[in-house]
Structure 1
Amino acid sequence: EAQRLIAEGALEQLHGFTPKELSQLAWAQGKTRAQHAGLLRALGRHALAELPAFEPREASALAWGLATSQVHDPELLLALGEEASARRREFPLREMANLLWAFAKGRVNPLAFSRVVSREVASERKLLKAQDACNLAWAMATLGIEDPVLFRTIAYFTLDRLEDFTPQGLSSLAWAFASMGIRELELLHGIGRASLARLGAFAPQGHSNLAWAFATLTASEPELVRAHA
């Protein structure tokens, strides 16, 4: 009840919210189970008119909140992609990856934006983080966007930083590459070795994703497939 009243109060005063406040509100709605559909729709409309004033982190928080709340707003997402592309020097790779994740979550194909992201990742790979790589691979695979250069960059990065990936991240990466039919066997073998060392930390879905990925790509890791079966 309290969350509903807060949401209704915010809806009445939404016209006075700053970009930072709009992004915080979207993020909070994404975190709560008592989401307010009317507020989320209005929030998207207000944000669309103010996008140039959003800082990169605010833009990605806005996209994350709306996507997590299952708000289908292709117009806003595409506008966010255009804004991030135009200001790509301002947007860290993390925010780019988060935006692409939101596109995938909302099932909106941002082909032009994905190409911008791919170029940025290729030129700034040293700035990539493990979670960013997972988000990028998952988003591209979910949307079915083929980009051999981006996936190869993610594979090289992962092989250098396997210890930075969580069990969920390893299984997500394996799933993404298998879903796209990309047989980066060195990467799969690396994921296999890393996952075998941490079997007890995998959730059931993680075991399933890894076993499926290795079986799908017919990688020669029978020990891994048995371990995750």
Structure 2
Amino acid sequence: GPDGLSAWFLMLLGLAGLPAALAGWAAADQAPRRLMLWPLLLAGLALALSAADAFGLLLGFALAALTAHALLSAEGAWVTNPRLGRLDLLATLLSVTALAVAVGLLTGLSGDLSFAGLRAAPPEAGQAAAILLLVLPAAAARAALPLLAPLPPGPALLLVGGAMPPMAIYLLARLLLDLGGPAQPLWWGTPLLAGGALLALAGALRALRQAELSPLLGGVALAHLGLVGAGL
């Protein structure tokens, strides 16, 4: 079953994600196939957070990332800026690919995908550096881009903007700290510290330039996300 790390993030998902999804489901006047995006996103997030092996984590991450993009598209997030929508789709595909390669590097030649097996044989040297360089942008892209979507405050923005960043933080905590961190040298945390500080600064500057509530909240969320990354 889920360990303490998974249970903590599942609690956050239940407290924030489930009410947002239920509110969106009740308020939406859409075709049934579009309404299915709400529970599908929750299912992907729950699968990623409760997985006991790397395959389940990858499958849940891919399902949640693709469904989040589809939900934002269905809500008209990219109507005023189609280029941002294409960028979000590209970032989604690249982040899933990067995570798949990172999982492949983690498993190595043993083929053991369980977290217990991966924890017993952490990556070293160049392999560890490659995993770090793959996981960081994959998590950052899926956490930051949904917060930039020009959506009015509502259930869709709350679900995507409130659920995807915690999943990205879980991804960093699970792969970089829990499975790979204890065996790494001191420089292992430097990219997280620098990237988190830059993201916090960018989010704060973005929030200060906004006059409307939705982009203001997005900037504040980016700043908080950067602080959490630096804290890791």
Fold conserved (TM > 0.5)?
no
Q: Which has the larger radius of gyration?
A: 1
Q: TM-score, normalised by structure 2?
A: 0.29
Structure with higher RCO (Cα < 8 A, 6+ apart)? 2
